[in-house]
Amino acid sequence: MIINILLVLGKVGAGIISTSSAIIADGLHSLSDLASDIPVLWGISAAKQPPDEDHHYGHSRYETITALFVGILLIGAALFVAGQAIITLSQHHAGLRNWLPFYMALASIILKELLYWWTRAVGRRFHNTALIANAWHHRSDAFTSIAAALGIAGALLGGERWAFLDHLTAVLLASFLIYIGIRIIRQSLKKLTDRAPGPEVVAQLHQAITQIPGVRSFHAFRARHSGAGNRIEMDVHIQVDPEISVRAGHEIANQVEKEIRRSNPDVTTVVVHIEPFQQSPEI
């Protein structure tokens, strides 16, 4: 997160000093990484906060709201950069003033690729899908920095005749920023609207329930995305032999919960209701 903040300030500053639209757009893409860094960091902290009198289900929604606003701001900034670059594309360009934006782009490529490998390794070690997804945000920033470096180098080496490459690269990078912003907003809205996991995840959870000995059937299955990363909250009604003891039924419910968490570590909350199994009458 600290590296991303420094890259944002360095790229935007270099763009202003050297009149480079491309490096400014690349700096705004580094800002999009903060849209993932902040929710993940805040989510880890919020997970430690217990529910209180005003938040019976905890505080995991706050980082989702933050990501939503950052996505909206990112799109607004990208539209501004693209608009300015398009307006000035056909105008006379004096060319870039120095190689500072190019050096900033190179530094970004190296730092973001190192962050990708580091973050992915930690995510795999702790089975944290949010960190693994965040690692790909770092790599996407490295890719846009490569494009920015090529555009800036072309503008610098080509002189005034090729100075438009800096503006053209800014438009292309801004388009990618808009795509990232839309994706962040869509992911945030999925969580805020309690969207269910995909069919593959639902099928995986169904299989985890049915393979527990003692579970005759189940129904009223519900699951939703919630909080940071890919957290899932769910509840289900399982049917067991009506002749067994309450203790035995409770143990089956515990086994169901353990198997669900084992099969999918993203599941953070599981509520299992026990009901007596009733044989459907034959027709």
For 247-258, how does the pLDDT look when each residue is reduced to its tens digit (9 = 90+)?
999 999 999 999
In this structure, the answer to whether residues 186 and 213 fall within a common structural domain is: no
Final residue belonging to a domain, choices 162, 192, 222: 192
* Per-residue pLDDT at 141 exceeds 80: no
Cα torsion 103, 108, 114, 117 to 10°: value is -150
Instruction: Output the pLDDT for position 129.
Output: 59
**282 part of a folded domain:** no
In this structure, the answer to whether residues 8 and 61 fall within a common structural domain is: yes
In this structure, the answer to whether residues 237 and 128 fall within a common structural domain is: no
By residue range, what is the domain housing residue 38?
2-192
In this structure, the answer to whether residues 134 and 254 fall within a common structural domain is: no
In this structure, the answer to whether residues 116 and 173 fall within a common structural domain is: yes
* Per-residue pLDDT at 244 exceeds 50: yes
- Per-residue pLDDT, averaged over 163-188, amounts to 78
- Per-residue pLDDT, averaged over 123-127, amounts to 76
In this structure, the answer to whether residues 129 and 88 fall within a common structural domain is: yes
In this structure, the answer to whether residues 234 and 155 fall within a common structural domain is: no
Percent of the chain with pLDDT over 70: 86
Instruction: Output the pLDDT for position 283.
Output: 45
Amino acid at 57: Y
In this structure, the answer to whether residues 210 and 172 fall within a common structural domain is: no
How many structural domains compose the chain?
A: 2
Cα torsion 205, 210, 212, 213 to 10°: value is 180
- Angle, helices 199-210/246-263, rounded to nearest 10 degrees: 140
In this structure, the answer to whether residues 92 and 132 fall within a common structural domain is: yes
What's the distance, CA 36 to chain centroid? 5
Neighbouring residues of 240: CB distance < 8 A, sequence distance ≥ 6: 214, 215, 216, 248, 249, 252, 274, 275, 276, 277
For the record, the structure tokens of 190 come out as: 């999925």
* Per-residue pLDDT at 203 exceeds 80: yes
Question: Which strands make up the sheet holding 232-240, listed edge to edge?
Answer: 217-225, 232-240, 267-276
* Per-residue pLDDT at 137 exceeds 80: no
Cβ contact 113:202 at 8 Å = no
In this structure, the answer to whether residues 130 and 181 fall within a common structural domain is: yes
Q: How far apart are the first and last CA of the chain?
A: 64
Final residue belonging to a domain, choices 192, 222, 248: 192
The H or E element that residue 35 is part of is helix 21-47
Query: What CATH number is attached to the domain comprising 141?
Result: 1.20.1510.10
Final residue belonging to a domain, choices 161, 192, 223: 192
Query: What CATH number is attached to the domain comprising 247?
Result: 3.30.70.1350
**283 part of a folded domain:** no
Report CA-CA distances (Å) from 275 to 57, 236, 252: 25, 11, 11
Kindly report which listed range (96-110, 149-163, 168-182, 220-234) carries the lowest average pLDDT score. Answer: 149-163
- Per-residue pLDDT, averaged over 176-204, amounts to 86
Read off the pTM.
0.66
